[in-house]
Structure 1
């Protein structure tokens, strides 16, 4: 049976879906934590710089491969590498597909935490104190309940297809996320202590911008923030009309993603200083206490100190994070679904639910052996698999892919000089930059 490929029906639908893929917990959770621990404004300055120099070209390379092939990542990389070795390209695509499953296995657990905290605040407002406490406290039972809920929320959207599911729901969820984020920022900035947080966040200490650890942290965050290296952006690019203003689309996605990360810092870093002003212990030796537990301990304590209005703000904040997590999991789920539909002949519905069951089993394994596996899976994905996948994309675009690759078409470059410059930047500069990042991150870890 021949499957007719679905597609995005509008430019804005593609931008919102791709931005939704990039905008997730890495922006709203990871970026503010990294900024708070690495000099605030200095980190923001370096982050913006490396996003422009490295993350944006990496995003372009991934989307460009998918858009030119009009196929899922496994087939797209196979076609691009056919002159050299189609098998190597397809194997790289399979590795990216496995990376998407790995990302989903831990991401859905964390997303379940966000959903549980949303309901916890609502339960507290309703006077259900015992239920609220159970929802707010981490436990295996809570993970077993909420992880499947989140997996099947994503599946319910994915199985509807690209236009009816991904595009339609991204167009609904992304504006809601933006409105909620701005509303929370306005509220937090009116609280005592927020002005100190603004100063730390917006005024860089340029003496710190050459700190190697800060630079590496900013590079890693920029790379992870844009959700590059697991094929999600490649498959989204394949659903967009070929050669449809790729450069402008990638700039729009990067600008929206970076803007949300900036706004998240504008919310959370002032909130930390509001919490400190309220008497909570937030920093120790200029580092956040608990770091990764920032979202689940420090901010809830701040919200609790605000009384009833704090519970309303808390439910809105965790609902915001739940929406961000959902838009990110959709793209990662689409990677194996597209492969099974196009290469293996599954119906979209069957592929979606089969992938969801695989993710559920993978998440269950992490829940069962949480202490041993959870952190290890995240480290392997973010510090090894994603950087290597993206390095491979640069090598494909710059060196291995010849037939149909406009970035290496000499006849086109005679009339469009910028094409030659951009192609050479992706070919020579980006692999060197990314190799340096990868090596240094490996050393630090």
Structure 2
């Protein structure tokens, strides 16, 4: 998907997994945060993002059964008109359950008085969520890219992997289609797909199954923690859909009250360089949603009190008071690379350069049409603070070269070879 959107294009419901441009998405905590502060949208776009992932909180809009408020800061139509104007694509996430550390995961408080089990095909719950979708879906449908708007994906439910009900997942999608949703439907699987990828196949399967991954966990008291929850490699869950990092860690809840600046340090530029670049080359993922770009403030009783408090700063690249941080700078460096290196649109695993230093790890991908190569270099031990150097033997499209490289502690680089730039050719860069 292009960084600068001019004319809307109709996305196919089935997309070849290698042909989708790397797409950085910037999740925001609540849709009012862009509506109330449109400058955030400009900041997000300036960082190289070409889309936002937006929750729509059922409880925020429905104070009582059958009653809905889409006025003022709850005006979804106005929000999506703003994303249309900004040229930011949207992954729309109306739940019905959204989590996002909100009270009840976005389920309204009055739902507790409705008999039956939530997040199931229980008839009483079904009647309630169908009414919500009947109100929110048509607003989303009006702003789909297929109708000249910005919504490119509709996300059904959220991290729905325990006590599952396939009929429920299927019905959410059926309701969406009946309400005019014609863009691909996705789901965000928790976490790192170590649970069974329930919604990739079978009843209730979605067209673009995605993965949520939080490799740094949430121990903000110890910001030197490194890779507590694994290597952070996005798994492709369906052979005929893009590998989709639906939520990739870009901050943390302040569960131990260390302060969000510590959470920002835990998920700071060094982590971003190592994990984001490694995931791009190792997985070949082409859709990325980074949680969060901007968290803002939990007004009223929006916050789920066991996990968060009034501030939902989240250690994000844009702070609660809308200041830019060093994380924003790193996002901008990577985002502009993603959106300008066109051959990243389509890559396969490729032969990596050999390193004469086992402490320096290499991986590679190449575009099968242009031959352009993208080579990752990082520490074999991602946790190390040591500086390392190596000599690479690199078989590029234009010949074999010996290339000296250097890495600082907790760093990673992507090197490019065989890249045509207008009337010039980049043989390789170091």
Answer whether TM exceeds 0.5 for this pair: no
More helix by share: 1
Q: Which has the higher contact order (CA 8 A, sep 6+)?
A: 1
TM-score by length of 2: 0.28
More strand by share: 2
